[in-house]
Amino acid sequence: MEKIIKLNQKNLAEIAKRISCPTYNRSNIKTGIVHVGIGGFHRAHEAFYTDALLHDDSIKDWGICGVALLEFDTKIYNTLKEQNGLYTLIIKELDGTLTKRVIGSIVECLYAPENPTTVIEKMASPEVKIITLTITEGGYNYNEATRGFDFENPQIHYDLEHPESPKTIFGYLTQALKLRKERGLLGVTIQSCDNIQGNGHMAKKMLLSYVQKAEPELVAWIETNVSFPNSMVDRITPATAALDIEKLKETSGVDDAWPVVCEPFKQWVIEDDFSTDRPAWETVGAQFVEDVVPYEKMKLSLLNAGHTVLGIIGALMGYDTIDESVHNPHINAFLKKYMDIEVTPTLGQLEGVDLESYKQSLLQRFGNINIKDQIDRICSESSAKFPIFVLPTVTTNLKEKGSIDFASLVIAAWAIYSLGKDENGKVLIIKDAMKATLNEKSIAASKYNPEAFLEIETIFGKLKDAPTFVSTYTTAYKNILKNGIEKCVIDLNNKY
Ligand code: CS2
């Protein structure tokens, strides 16, 4: 057994003898991008593309400064700091082989709770051209009920009162943009990489709502100097397991405290709308297009919603991973029918996309037995995911008089899932910012009336006033309790 080497800049030359490492000189790379949210997805996606780009020796301006915004991010910040921003990306190929590569594009790391001023100054620095975000679907502070910015959020109150030491992304961006304006600097591009329909539009709308209240005179400057391109991002990135860390040590002798594991597939479609310069990510596989909205819609309502379908139904049946769920033939058939009957008619024309093979490839990706994507991860923050991934399909089908049977069963399953136990009585680990409300309403649904769950307006908006939906959902709810979820899945499959 070779000696185990700790991953950091000093040991990189030695590690390069074992696995593929950056061959560019990292100390020559300047920070052109500030990225907020250095979780697994960013490190499997944007940082991966950017690392590939930096292998072109003429490119030196596009290093990433990774920002940990929340106290929750302390561990990843400390790990990356210790490892000089380096980490191993482990791609789990379909045949079970592992492709490992050390990624070097995160050249700086900052921890916002400790030093907000440094983060604000970094975002305002002239060499920074782009601020990218993976702050999760819930991070945009959008309220489905009012269809606007949630000013009730105590963290937002805090930021309004403490503009120089904020806690939320809105407080940070406002301060940084204010400095850029005062200093006569160029604007920046703010690029959301979260799974939200029109993620750039959402980032812009939410930021401007906040700025309107916090710094009204900054609004016009932002409108002229800051662009918010929409983008579609895709790469399945499960949570890293202790076994992944051990295996990396065993097979390559590299001690990396937090490698990232992901699938081989990757896609990044970006609207070509940048305020100033941008990296030539298209040279390493990204696509720049004029209008990304149809791609986003396709991905969110097929892939992400597909995950939610497999996750919620699978969780109730006692499965732990997405591949287990999709390999159940009834769930598999259910998902296919959901995609074909309920989602496909809502997608409209998708030029240049072979939808049939896209759907086929999704089933293969979900079924990758090496990925072992955790159902816990997929079901986490469902309160932010359903309104983006599933409910728009229901709303469109209600309008167009299409089927809502499949989606309604999944929503009813979620109401039962929110009671906190699977059908075998095992406790479910529910991670959700709205956990308490979900639990309270799910209890009311089970005790009195299934409709109680739909009263959560910040999730369901006005859907509780749509009689067709309410009755389909209520029937599904009762059927699940009476016959079990698998029987309901089978019955619905037989109906279509
Ligand atoms: C998942 C996504 O969080 C979820 O529910 O659907 O993280 C998904 O794996 C990525 O969007 C894949 O691109």
The strand pairing partners of 374, in sequence order, are 321
Q: Give the count of domains, the chain.
A: 2
Name which residue sits closest to atom 9 of ligand 1, judged by CA.
Answer: 236
Predicted confidence (pLDDT) per residue in 278-299, tens digit: 999 999 999 999 999 889 999 9
Tokens of 100: 């490992």
378 lines ligand 1 (CB under 6 A): yes
381 lines ligand 1 (CB under 6 A): no
Query: 198 and 328: one domain?
Result: no
Query: 277 and 419: one domain?
Result: no
Name which residue sits closest to atom 7 of ligand 1, judged by CA.
Answer: 236
Query: 66 and 213: one domain?
Result: yes
Name the DSSP class of 421: B
Closest atom of ligand 1 relative to the 385 alpha carbon: 5
Query: pLDDT at position 353, please?
Result: 85
CATH of the domain at 323: 1.10.1040.10
Question: How many Å lie between the centroid of ligand 1 and the Cα of residue 236?
Answer: 6
Query: 216 and 319: one domain?
Result: no
SS3 236: coil
Which of 255, 289, 323 terminates a domain? The answer is: 289
Mutual orientation of helices 355-366 and 305-317 as an angle, nearest 10°?
40
Query: 212 and 253: one domain?
Result: yes
The strand pairing partners of 288, in sequence order, are 270
Using alpha carbons only, what angle is made at residue 362 by residues 359 and 364, rounded to the nearest 5 degrees?
115
266 lines ligand 1 (CB under 6 A): no
136 lines ligand 1 (CB under 6 A): no
Query: pLDDT at position 94, please?
Result: 87
Q: Residue-wise pLDDT tens for the chain (496 aa)? A: 579 999 999 999 999 999 999 999 999 999 999 999 999 999 999 999 999 999 999 999 999 999 999 999 999 999 999 999 999 999 999 899 999 999 999 999 999 999 999 999 999 999 999 999 999 999 999 998 889 999 999 999 999 999 999 999 999 999 999 999 999 999 999 999 999 999 999 999 999 999 999 999 999 999 999 999 999 999 999 999 999 999 999 999 999 999 999 999 999 999 999 999 999 999 999 999 999 988 999 999 999 999 999 999 999 999 999 999 999 999 999 999 999 999 999 998 877 789 999 999 999 999 999 999 999 999 999 999 999 999 999 999 999 999 999 999 999 999 999 999 999 999 999 999 999 999 999 999 999 999 999 999 999 999 999 999 999 999 999 999 999 999 999 999 999 9
195 lines ligand 1 (CB under 6 A): yes
Query: 300 and 163: one domain?
Result: no
CATH of the domain at 14: 3.40.50.720
| Contact criterion met (CB below 8 Å) for 489 and 328 | no
Which of 244, 272, 289 terminates a domain? The answer is: 289
330 lines ligand 1 (CB under 6 A): no
| Number of other CB atoms surrounding residue 448 within 10 Å | 9
Q: Which of 304, 263, 274 is nearest to 129 (CA)?
A: 274
Query: 367 and 420: one domain?
Result: yes
Query: 339 and 215: one domain?
Result: no
Which of 289, 315, 340 terminates a domain? The answer is: 289
234 lines ligand 1 (CB under 6 A): yes
Closest atom of ligand 1 relative to the 267 alpha carbon: 13
Residues constituting the chain: 496
Question: How many Å lie between the centroid of ligand 1 and the Cα of residue 235?
Answer: 7
Q: Which pTM does this prediction carry?
A: 0.96
CA-CA-CA-CA dihedral for 9, 13, 15, 21, to nearest 10 = 80
Question: How many Å lie between the centroid of ligand 1 and the Cα of residue 48?
Answer: 17
DSSP letters spanning 186-217: ---EEEE-SS-TTHHHHHHHHHHHHHHHH-GG
Exposure of 481 in the CB half-sphere (CA atoms within 13 A): 15
| Contact criterion met (CB below 8 Å) for 455 and 441 | yes
Closest atom of ligand 1 relative to the 304 alpha carbon: 6
Query: pLDDT at position 351, please?
Result: 79
167 lines ligand 1 (CB under 6 A): no
Q: Which domain holds residue 339?
A: 293-495
Name which residue sits closest to atom 3 of ligand 1, judged by CA.
Answer: 378
Query: pLDDT at position 294, please?
Result: 87
Query: pLDDT at position 1, please?
Result: 55
Query: 191 and 332: one domain?
Result: no
Q: Which of 389, 381, 415, 393 is nearest to 345 (CA)?
A: 393
Predicted confidence (pLDDT) per residue in 59-88, tens digit: 999 999 999 999 999 999 999 999 999 999
CA distance 390 to 144: 14
Closest atom of ligand 1 relative to the 234 alpha carbon: 13
323 lines ligand 1 (CB under 6 A): no
Question: How many Å lie between the centroid of ligand 1 and the Cα of residue 304?
Answer: 6
Q: Which of 208, 144, 125, 130 is nearest to 170 (CA)?
A: 208
Name which residue sits closest to atom 5 of ligand 1, judged by CA.
Answer: 378
Query: 348 and 444: one domain?
Result: yes
Question: How many Å lie between the centroid of ligand 1 and the Cα of residue 182?
Answer: 39
Query: 260 and 400: one domain?
Result: no
Query: 196 and 242: one domain?
Result: yes
CA-CA-CA-CA dihedral for 346, 349, 352, 357, to nearest 10 = 30
